[in-house]
Amino acid sequence: QVQLQESGPGLVKPSETLSLTCSVSGGSISSDYWSWIRQPAGKGLEWIGRIYTSGSTNYNPSLKSRVTMSVDTSKNQFSLKLSSVTAADTAVYYCARGPRPSGFGMDVWGQGTTVTVSS
């Protein structure tokens, strides 16, 4: 079955760019939708954005000016870049499959990776 694994620096300095990668195993990344979600400690889930394997993206309007998502089908990976980070961007970051227009929600999730923004 498809499994997801996030990777990237656990500590990012304020004003710098947060970069994370999600590796897809057990299946192909092609012809599907992939999302990033984050969760500050003790708080709720926030959808960051979604990418289709063609490269088409949808971003959360509140983060849109700072977010860039990309996909590398040759490596079966997709990535997140969040620029000009502040302490408010400290959170657990999850990658997930979906949502697809046909439904099913986000049906596969990575285990999450903690990113702390601090000097």
Under the criterion CB under 8 A, does residue 94 sit at the interface with another protein? yes
Nearer to another protein, 14 or 107 (CB): 107
DSSP 3-state assignment of 41?
A: coil
Under the criterion CB under 8 A, does residue 61 sit at the interface with another protein? yes
**Out of 3, 28, 54, 107, which residue is the one contacting another protein (CB under 8 A)?**
107
Token representation of residue 32? 């599907």
Under the criterion CB under 8 A, does residue 16 sit at the interface with another protein? no
Under the criterion CB under 8 A, does residue 25 sit at the interface with another protein? no
What whole-number distance in Å separates Cα of residue 106 and Cα of residue 104?
A: 7
Under the criterion CB under 8 A, does residue 5 sit at the interface with another protein? no
Task: Count helices and strands (H / E) in the chain.
Answer: 0, 11
Long-range contacts of the stretch 21-24 (C-beta < 8 A, 24+): 21/77, 21/78, 21/79, 21/80, 22/77, 22/78, 22/79, 22/80, 22/95, 22/110, 23/75, 23/76, 23/77, 24/76, 24/77, 24/78
**Out of 72, 84, 104, 114, which residue is the one contacting another protein (CB under 8 A)?**
104
Under the criterion CB under 8 A, does residue 38 sit at the interface with another protein? no
Nearer to another protein, 10 or 103 (CB): 103
Residue numbers of the site for another protein (CB under 8 A)? Answer: 35, 37, 44-47, 49-50, 58-61, 94, 99, 103-107, 109-112
